[in-house]
A = this chain, B = another copy of it.
């Protein structure tokens, strides 16, 4: 009422050129969302908190992003841009594919929330960055002489996804405990030992691993499975001996 009867003062009270921040844009929102996700994990990202980070109200974001799920899709493709697959020029397709897979793993471990999102939404995003990554990989396999590159992509990528998401989830659990990985494992051992008691093969596998550098273990584990897969693929190149079990 009072404000309506007296419109004049607002002229003076008006904020002059309050465009300090580069305004709100889809790109800025996605970038900040990734920052929050990296820093505090997936359950810490709320529209209100994100809005506050951008000096904006929560619902303002909805002008640039249809829904939170869409924002997550954009964030996923954003970080997919960090995954690089070498160009198909070198003769060593194994090294190139290995580099591409390691890049996938490294990116997933750098942005551990990816594991959750991939589990919920899969790879059906069709985002441009995922597209160029896949295309590069297809070119790699095609240049190597594979008749059906997409088959090989699916195999290698599925392995990379499974191993990387499991690893990311594990590291998230570790991080939440506030301990180092080695300490966390040490603290978990009693429970684990009890769980595998009566399982002879598992128990011996556990014993063989106690006290070893965990990160190195994860690295070689990933490389092992990847090498196995690439060996299997190599057998499918034109001219190769049949494997025999």
Instruction: Name A residues whose Cβ lies closer than 8 Å to a Cβ of B.
Output: 42, 92-94, 115-124, 126, 128, 131-132, 134-135, 138-139, 142, 144, 148-151, 154-155, 157-163, 165-170, 173, 191-192, 195-196, 199-202, 205, 221, 224-225, 227-237, 240-241, 243-245
Contacts and interface: CB of A to CB of B under 8 A. Distances in A.
**Interface core residue of A119, A132, A195 (most chain B CB under 10 Å):** A119
Q: How many copies does the complex hold?
A: 2
17 contacts: A115-B120, A123-B169, A124-B170, A135-B200, A135-B202, A138-B201, A150-B201, A154-B225, A155-B159, A158-B162, A159-B225, A161-B162, A228-B232, A231-B231, A231-B243, A232-B232, A234-B245
A150 B212 CA distance: 15
**Interface core residue of A135, A138, A159, A160 (most chain B CB under 10 Å):** A159
B165 A119 contact: yes
Given A138-B202, A240-B244, 10 more contacts: A116-B119, A119-B119, A122-B165, A134-B202, A149-B201, A151-B224, A159-B162, A159-B229, A227-B232, A229-B229
Nearest to A138: B201
A165 B161 contact: yes
A121 B169 contact: yes
A188 to B, nearest CB: 8
A187 to B, nearest CB: 13
